[in-house]
Amino acid sequence: MKLKSILSTTLVASLLLSCGRTGKNDQTDFNGNWAFHIVEDTLNYHIDYSATDFETDSWENVRLPHTANIEPLVVNDQWQGICWYHKTFDISNFSKEKKYFIEFEGAMNVIDIWINDKHLKKDMGGYLPVAADITDYVKEKDNTIRVRLDNRDNPTTGPKPLKILDFNMYGGLYREVNFIEKNNIYISNPSIADIEAGGGVFITFPTVNEKMSEVKIQTHVINEGENDKGARIKHVIKKGNDIVEEVTADIILRKGKQGNTWCYTVEMDSPALWSPDSPTLYTLETTIYDEDGMVMDRNTERFGIRKFEFKDNQLYINGKKTYLRGVNRHQEYPYIGYALSDNAQYRDAYKIKKAGFDYVRLSHYPHSPAFMDACDELGLVVADAILGWQYFADNDAFRNQCYRSARQLVRRDRNHPCVMAWEVSLNETKMPIDFMEVLDSIVHKEYPGENVYSCGWMPEVYDIYFQARQHRILHKDRMTFDKPYIVSEYGDWEYYSNNAGLNQHKMPKNMRLEFSSRQFRKNGEERLLRQARNVQEAHNDNMNIPATGDGYWVMFDYNRGYHDDIEASGVMDIFRLPKFAYYFYSSQRDMKCEEDCVLKIASYWNSKSPTDVKVFSNADEVELYLNGKLIGRQKPDSDAISTNLKHPPFTFKTRGFEKGELRAVAFCNGKKVLEDSVVTPQAPVKLHCDIDISGKPIEAGCNDVAFVYISARDENGTVNPDYEEFIDITLPEGIELMNRDGVKAEAGIATALIRIGERKGKARIIVSDGQLKGDMEVEIR
């Protein structure tokens, strides 16, 4: 290891907050025991509930993350309005020599905050942190914080009004709130620093290769004591629990809120690089000691060493040419809107990776810090976006809000190795060139140097051109450009409508359903296979052009303001249950070992099933048997929509339906590696329960939410896809059912969304439809 450089102390003017999400050693759980009140009558919107003596005994007690309104499954009249949150708290070991801060990770949309009857601040935007120094507002006992939220349509933040919007913006304090205590010497947080390319701890990589990589560490420390002070800064880089590098230096901390910035560049020999195939993470622990050796502050940041670069407009990750097979994501859950637990955020990312994707575009707003953490861990490359969709207001207030959002987005997410590109563009919005130029410049000023790229849906200005396939089909003239190109969206709109315009709410509804990719699981095999065919054709077509990646629209079904039905083009439904298209994508990942083999018969094999049987696999060859008789052993399809695919599906022609078992056998290098079977479903005799873990155990005390899948199965264990009954569910104390409109089966499976309380241990869930019964035991950690 070499300590390459120590820069002289610099003074930077700003007011700063300490501690980021990854450094939680000085954070207090501030998510419990909030009182919540929704203002039902618009005539009462003017009422000021901010005073500490205003009675809140009748308000609902809630834990965060929290949604302002539990919505029905199909949200065609989403709640918008004003709501209030209230919390009282004491500060143990309170000292006037300490600093106190608060950070709201997500609050929709306009937020006003009062502490002890004093107005703290007003902010807006809904998706990025709202943080403040509250030292001068708090005392040792009986503190009161009150929050007013307004998620009505807002012309300053955009986007389009809800009634013509292609997604929803759900109200509430829907992410965590952090209360942070510091000494008067502390590492700042960039979320409110307003220092260009500064504040907090900022990690970059001037040199990246497998032999030696440079890790540049920039740290901003504030000394709010009365005098300049000597101190010591220590950086420890760990891989797991093993110390890899360690740097210590004596420094002088100039007094004042302007802060002090130091930069160190560490040379790491033979580092493990971060990539989608091997997402290796390191931990940087930064500690500030005073002259007596006492710890004044400690901050922990995870990072991954990687380099994204483009050669001849093609993407190379750490020198390896890479095509990004990806998908778009909206962050909503049924019923609870945006109020996902951190565990639920991870489970979404886990499903995306398991579906065969290595890239996710965050549509069309900043997603949760917990989701970003999961992408780091799982190896999902990210296009990180500001809020924007089909709306531009040509005034200073709107422009400045977008500029501010771009700055805050980079400052929040700059240390995440998963971020390849910053989508500081208003999606599908006609934007002035000067507006785009400012947004592009913000990215490069906030993240100077190489390995950083802006992206946008227009070919001008941005480093990477994001274009949807439907726009490419209609506007082939826009293919004349010389820059990296990613297909931002595909597989949905071009099969739904002949019009790729920007006013979707004016298009006739229920168009071309037989050809559409918008298919519910209940629509049956033929239409689910149509969706799978569409995505295969479109993904294959994307590789006929010089794109370096593509993103299917969309991962999960979702609600939208302008339509009275769920948008169903997801490869998984809104409950995160897979459709056949899911298995097409999962089969596109190469098999590195037998455990990576994918094999799925895309059939229910009943009297209504197509007699041509589709099998998705990444194997070399597949055999298909019907009731023990070999139908054939085949290589992958070689038709017109398979020419560019890594692993085309296998299509077997049967002689017609015959009740019984279809069995597929996958071979790699002549060796049998996996089997899959489908048995003709009979009348169900039992209900079977599963709970969705997806890489994260169910956890108490954090408002965790999880899906319970209740399937109607016959005596062979086969799910009956014709079963559509309502299910009664009995839950133990402390677990809450979130389904506002009941638990009803679709294509043989009913889904209950449950919220976990404070109790750990085993919990028994009992289900019944009046005739069929089932139960399961859940372990809650």
Assigned domain for 578 exists: no
Percentage of residues of the chain with pLDDT beyond 90 = 91
Is a pLDDT exceeding 80 seen at residue 479? no
Domain end point (choices 503, 534, 556): 556
Same domain, 653 and 715: no
682 neighbors 767 (Cβ within 8 angstroms):
no
Torsion of CA 377, 379, 383, 389, to 10 degrees: -70
Nearest to 737 by CA among 711, 718, 763: 763
What are 567's two structure tokens?
């948008």
Same domain, 466 and 364: yes
Range of the domain at 297: 2-6+196-303
Give residue-wise pLDDT tens across range 654-676: 999 999 999 999 999 999 999 99
CA 10, chain centre distance (Å): 36
What is the arithmetic mean of pLDDT over 564-590?
A: 98
Nearest to 455 by CA among 484, 418, 491: 484
Assigned domain for 188 exists: no
Q: How far apart are CA 499 and CA 541, in angstroms?
A: 19
Is a pLDDT exceeding 80 seen at residue 620? yes
* Residues sharing a CB contact under 8 Å with residue 408, sequence separation 6 or more, in sequence order: 128, 129, 191
What are 136's two structure tokens?
């001068």
Same domain, 703 and 775: yes
Same domain, 379 and 271: no
Same domain, 358 and 397: yes
Which CATH number fits the domain that encloses residue 755? 2.60.40.10
Q: How far apart are CA 372 and CA 362, in angstroms?
A: 10
Is a pLDDT exceeding 80 seen at residue 175? yes
Domain end point (choices 107, 142, 175): 175
Same domain, 466 and 549: yes
Same domain, 674 and 697: no
- Higher-pLDDT residue of 20 and 574 is 574
What residues does 121 pair with on adjacent strands? 113
Same domain, 353 and 491: yes
Q: How far apart are CA 308 and CA 336, in angstroms?
A: 36
162 neighbors 265 (Cβ within 8 angstroms):
no
- What's the pLDDT score for residue 212? 98
Assigned domain for 461 exists: yes
Same domain, 150 and 63: yes
369-378 and 342-354 helices, crossing angle to 10°: 40
What is the arithmetic mean of pLDDT over 352-376?
A: 99
Assigned domain for 533 exists: no
Query: Can you give the pTM of this predicted structure?
Result: 0.95
CA 32, chain centre distance (Å): 24
What residues does 507 pair with on adjacent strands? none
- What's the pLDDT score for residue 213? 99
Domain end point (choices 109, 142, 175): 175
298 neighbors 246 (Cβ within 8 angstroms):
no
From residue 509, alpha-carbon distances to 390, 504, 586, 704 in Å are 19, 9, 31, 36
Same domain, 209 and 115: no
Assigned domain for 310 exists: no
Assigned domain for 652 exists: yes
Is a pLDDT exceeding 70 seen at residue 511? no
Mean pLDDT for the chain overall = 94
Assigned domain for 564 exists: no
Assigned domain for 576 exists: no
Q: How far apart are CA 129 and CA 199, in angstroms?
A: 15
Give residue-wise pLDDT tens across range 710-768: 999 999 999 999 999 999 999 999 999 999 999 999 999 999 999 999 999 999 999 99
Torsion of CA 184, 187, 193, 199, to 10 degrees: 150
Beta strands in 41-168 (DSSP E): 60-62, 82-89, 99-104, 110-115, 118-123, 130-133, 143-150
What are 191's two structure tokens?
């979320």
What are 65's two structure tokens?
């993350």
- What's the pLDDT score for residue 505? 53
Give residue-wise pLDDT tens across range 222-258: 999 999 999 999 999 999 999 999 999 999 999 999 9
396-413 and 433-446 helices, crossing angle to 10°: 30
Q: How far apart are CA 199 and CA 153, in angstroms?
A: 32
11 neighbors 291 (Cβ within 8 angstroms):
no
User: How many structural domains does the chain have?
Assistant: 5
Torsion of CA 366, 367, 369, 373, to 10 degrees: -120
When pLDDT is cut at 50, 70 and 90, the band that residue 509 belongs to is low
Is a pLDDT exceeding 60 seen at residue 590? yes
Same domain, 623 and 759: no
Same domain, 667 and 762: no
* Residues sharing a CB contact under 8 Å with residue 749, sequence separation 6 or more, in sequence order: 521, 577, 709, 710, 711, 712, 719
User: Starting from the edge strand earliest in sequence, which strands make up the sheet with 143-150, in order?
Assistant: 60-62, 34-38, 82-89, 143-150, 110-115, 118-123
* Residues sharing a CB contact under 8 Å with residue 158, sequence separation 6 or more, in sequence order: 387, 388, 389, 391, 392, 393, 398, 426
Which CATH number fits the domain that encloses residue 160? 2.60.120.260
